[in-house]
């Protein structure tokens, strides 16, 4: 059956992200009641002054972290795509961390079990998205990202025509 992808995840727009770490602070506060980027589910990477991006779990369709876990501690919700960690089973071996291409699942510095973004399910919405001063973060699906990319590409292809229409309206 053909079905629209409904799994939502937090995505950062590289054009808007400025590397300010507000997302890290609000994440660690929400989840750990403390300001500590080391405990944030979303991490900021600054390659140089121009290249900044916040990275977190993308709720992969076929998540390598789940596949890599030898202890079956990780499971993915069929409905939402969220990865959940069974804290009793996880022994912090780190196979999932190695399997994730995005560094989105991490070992907790104190609990010694892995943790990953859960879209702040207890709050109803991801707090990083709510707080991002640049509105660089959004909760979105891969289909919507693809749609937006296509629209941007077509607008660029037809720059002149787009300007004309804007003038007309």
Partner 1 sequence: MGLGMRLWLENSKPKIDPFDPENPLVVANGPISGTMWPTGGNGHTFVSKSPQSFGLGEAKAHGTFGTELKRAGYDAVIFRGKAEKPVYVWIDDDSVQLLDASGLMGKSPGDTEDAIREELGDYYIRVAAIGVAGEKLSRMACIINDRTRAAGRTGLGAVMGSKNLKAIAVRGTHDVTVAKLDEFMEYVKEFHERMKGPATQKYRTLGTPENVLVHNSLSCMPTRNFNNSRFEGAEKVSGECLNEKYLAKIIGCSSCAMRCEHTCVVPEGPYKGTMTRMEYETLWALGPYCGVDRLDAIIKGMELTDYYGMDSISAGVTIGFAMDCYERGILSQKELDGLDAKFGNAEAMVQLVEKIGKREGVGDLLADGAKFAADRIGKDSYKLAATIKGVETTGYDLRCLKTAALGFAVSFRGADHNRHGAYAFDVKGKVNRLIAEKGRGKLVRDMEDVYNLIDSFIVCKFSRGTYYKELPDMAKLYTLVTGFVTTPEELKKAGERIENLAKIINLREGLSRKDDTLPYKVMHDPIPDEGPSKGAFVTQEELDLLLDDYYESRGWTKEGVPTLEKLKELGMDDLIHIIYQ
Question: Where along the sequence are the contacts to partner 1 (CB under 8 A)?
Answer: 18-22, 25-26, 28-29, 32-39, 48-50, 52, 109, 131, 133-134
Tell me how far, at minimum, the Cβ of 36 lies from partner 1, in Å. Answer: 5
Closer residue to partner 1 in complex, CB, 47/168: 47
Beta bridge partners of 85: 74
| CB closer to partner 1 out of 3 and 33 | 33
Nearest CB to partner 1, comparing residues 8 and 43: 43
Structure tokens at 39: 């405990």
CA-CA distances (angstroms) from residue 11 to 27, 43, 44, 129, 162?
Answer: 15, 12, 12, 9, 27
Q: Which is nearer to partner 1, 46 or 87 (CB)?
A: 46
d(CA 141, CA 145): 6
Give min distance, CB of 161 to partner 1, in A. 25
CB 69 within 8 A of CB 37: no
Q: Measured between alpha carbons, how far is 9 from 58 in angstroms, rounded to an integer?
A: 5
Nearer to partner 1, 21 or 142 (CB): 21
Q: Tell the smallest beta-carbon distance from residue 89 to partner 1 (Å).
A: 25
Instruction: Give the nearest distance from C-beta 43 to partner 1 in angstroms.
Output: 8
Neighbour tally for 125: CB within 10 Å = 11
Tokens of 23: 């997302």
SS3 category, 96 = helix
């Amino acid at each position: 059956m053909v079905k629209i992808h409904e799994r939502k995840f937090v995505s950062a727009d590289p054009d808007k992200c400025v590397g300010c770490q507000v997302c890290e602070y609000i994440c660690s506060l929400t989840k750990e009641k403390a300001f500590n980027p080391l405990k944030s589910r979303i991490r900021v990477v600054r390659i140089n002054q121009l290249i900044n991006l916040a990275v977190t779990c993308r709720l992969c369709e076929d998540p390598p972290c789940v596949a890599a876990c030898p202890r079956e501690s990780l499971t993915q919700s069929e409905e939402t795509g969220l990865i959940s960690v069974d804290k009793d089973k996880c022994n912090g071996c780190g196979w999932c961390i190695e399997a994730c291409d995005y560094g989105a699942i991490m070992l907790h510095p104190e609990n010694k079990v892995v943790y990953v973004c859960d879209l702040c399910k207890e709050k109803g919405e991801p707090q990083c998205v709510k707080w991002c001063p640049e509105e660089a973060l959004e909760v979105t699906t891969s289909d919507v990202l693809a749609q937006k990319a296509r629209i941007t590409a077509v607008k660029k292809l037809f720059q002149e025509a787009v300007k004309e229409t804007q003038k007309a309206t």
